[in-house]
């Protein structure tokens, strides 16, 4: 519940404009929807966007308690030496809180498992998409957290991914060197190959081919948003299950937002999630600088997908 007392100088304005002034990040249309759903007077009666507010009154915004979507709430531990914690993140588990997820996030689970008594919780040093499984590095001390984050920012960490893609690649090895930038129109989260974009390179090695698909190993040399997915789509081999960069582009993503994962949508995508796994991370250990590699075996659902082809 949020409470807003109307100051004397704001008396006489419409309720929707009053709320928008208190929460500027919201559009007026969004504010009006919130008022219709959540705005009350102190006596419990409902309010309308066009009402005029009075000096001294209290406007209440009450949101019903929401249930977070179900996600995997367990993760494996690949390394824990008191300085670095490497976890094996399952697909579907978000890294950090959002409007939809709070307790169902890796950061919250880390606090629960390692800092329930109020100590220092392991801090995540980099990011993976919610659907991507595999290795995530965390610092168990403030110094280790800072060192790991600086190493990622400076591209001193070597990352290797495994992916199942559409089509059988002809070449065993390939470097994809295609600049990237945000799309000029459409969904704002999308990236695209563009001549005026930032440099982006990905090294690719084919591990196996089967039934019109390839199991490949990927090593990004740069760290652009959605780089692996965009690069693979650009060479005609999108990742199986990719809702944004597959053959239908963003249409499956919009359908998924509207209806969730249906059997028909899963058949079109080839898998319920993007078949991308963070396989290995090599880094200089914060204590002493020794080169350290942590590996995660291909996630069980992707093993099953590959075996079923």
What is the spatial distance between Cα 265 and Cα 250, in angstroms, rounded to a whole number? Answer: 13
- Laid out side by side, the sheet with 2-5 consists of 2-5, 58-61, 39-40
- In this predicted structure, what is the pLDDT of residue 137? 98
pLDDT tens-place string over residues 4-25: 899 999 999 999 999 998 887 7
Contact 105, 97 (CB under 8 A): yes
H helices of the chain, in order, are 15-22, 28-38, 106-114, 142-153, 227-234, 251-259, 263-269, 300-308
- In this predicted structure, what is the pLDDT of residue 24? 79
The CATH number fitting domain 2-61, selected from 3.40.50.970, 3.30.1380.10, 1.10.3720.10, 3.10.290.10: 3.10.290.10
- In this predicted structure, what is the pLDDT of residue 25? 74
Q: Which position has the higher pLDDT, 31 or 26?
A: 31
What is the spatial distance between Cα 83 and Cα 89, in angstroms, rounded to a whole number? Answer: 19
What is the spatial distance between Cα 30 and Cα 25, in angstroms, rounded to a whole number? Answer: 10
Q: How far, rounded to the nearest angstrom, does the alpha carbon of residue 184 sit from its chain's CA centroid?
A: 22
Residue 187 pLDDT class (50, 70, 90 cuts): confident
Query: Which residues does 42 contact at the CB level (< 8 Å), separation at least 6?
Result: 57, 58, 60
Query: Which residues does 113 contact at the CB level (< 8 Å), separation at least 6?
Result: none
pLDDT tens-place string over residues 143-155: 999 999 999 999 9
Closest CA to 163 of 230, 223, 224: 230
Residue of 9, 16, 70, 129 with catalytic role? 129
Is 129 annotated in the active site? yes
Of all residues in the chain, the percent with pLDDT exceeding 90 is 78
Is the predicted pLDDT of residue 64 greater than 80, yes or no? no
pLDDT tens-place string over residues 148-179: 999 999 999 999 999 999 999 999 999 999 99
- In this predicted structure, what is the pLDDT of residue 200? 97
Residue 109 pLDDT class (50, 70, 90 cuts): very high
Closest CA to 131 of 244, 296, 255, 218: 244
- Indicate if the alpha-carbon torsion angle 158, 162, 163, 167 is positive or negative: positive
Global pTM value? 0.80
- In this predicted structure, what is the pLDDT of residue 232? 98
Q: Measured at the alpha carbon of residue 300, what is the angle toward residues 294 and 302, in degrees to the nearest 5?
A: 95
Residue 91 pLDDT class (50, 70, 90 cuts): very high
- In this predicted structure, what is the pLDDT of residue 51? 94
The CATH number fitting domain 76-308, selected from 3.30.457.10, 3.30.300.180, 3.40.50.300, 3.30.2350.10: 3.30.2350.10
pLDDT tens-place string over residues 210-245: 999 999 999 999 999 999 999 999 999 999 999 999
Q: Is 102 exposed, middle or buried (0-12, 13-18, 19+ CB in 10 A)?
A: middle
pLDDT tens-place string over residues 278-287: 999 999 999 9
Contact 128, 134 (CB under 8 A): yes
Domain limits of the chain?
A: 2-61, 76-308
């Amino acid at each position: 519940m949020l409470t807003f007392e109307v100051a004397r100088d704001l008396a006489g304005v419409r309720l929707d404009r009053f709320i928008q002034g208190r929460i500027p990040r919201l559009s007026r249309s969004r504010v009006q929807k919130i008022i219709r759903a959540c705005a009350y007077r102190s006596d419990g009666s409902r309010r309308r966007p066009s009402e005029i507010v009075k000096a001294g009154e209290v406007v209440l915004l009450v949101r019903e308690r929401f249930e977070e979507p179900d996600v995997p709430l367990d993760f494996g531990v690949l390394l824990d030496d008191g300085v670095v914690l490497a976890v094996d993140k399952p697909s579907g588990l978000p890294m950090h809180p959002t409007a939809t997820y709070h307790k169902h996030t890796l950061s919250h689970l880390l606090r629960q498992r390692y800092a329930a008594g109020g100590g220092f919780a392991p801090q995540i040093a980099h990011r993976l998409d919610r659907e991507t499984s595999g290795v995530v590095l965390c610092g168990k001390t403030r110094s280790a957290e800072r060192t790991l984050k600086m190493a990622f920012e400076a591209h001193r960490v070597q990352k290797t991914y495994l992916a199942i893609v559409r089509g059988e690649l002809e070449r065993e090895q390939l470097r994809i060197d295609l600049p990237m930038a945000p799309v000029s129109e459409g969904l704002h989260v999308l990236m695209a190959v563009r001549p005026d974009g930032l440099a982006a390179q990905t090294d690719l090695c084919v591990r196996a081919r089967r039934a019109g698909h390839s199991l490949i190993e990927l090593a990004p040399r740069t760290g652009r948003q959605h780089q692996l997915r965009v690069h693979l789509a650009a060479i005609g081999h999108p990742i199986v299950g990719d809702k944004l960069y597959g053959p239908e582009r963003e249409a499956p993503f919009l359908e998924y937002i509207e209806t969730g994962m249906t059997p028909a949508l899963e058949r079109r995508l080839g898998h319920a999630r993007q078949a991308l796994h963070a396989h290995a991370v090599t880094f200089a250990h914060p204590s002493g600088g020794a080169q350290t590699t942590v590996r995660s075996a291909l996630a069980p659902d992707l093993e099953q997908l590959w075996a079923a082809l």
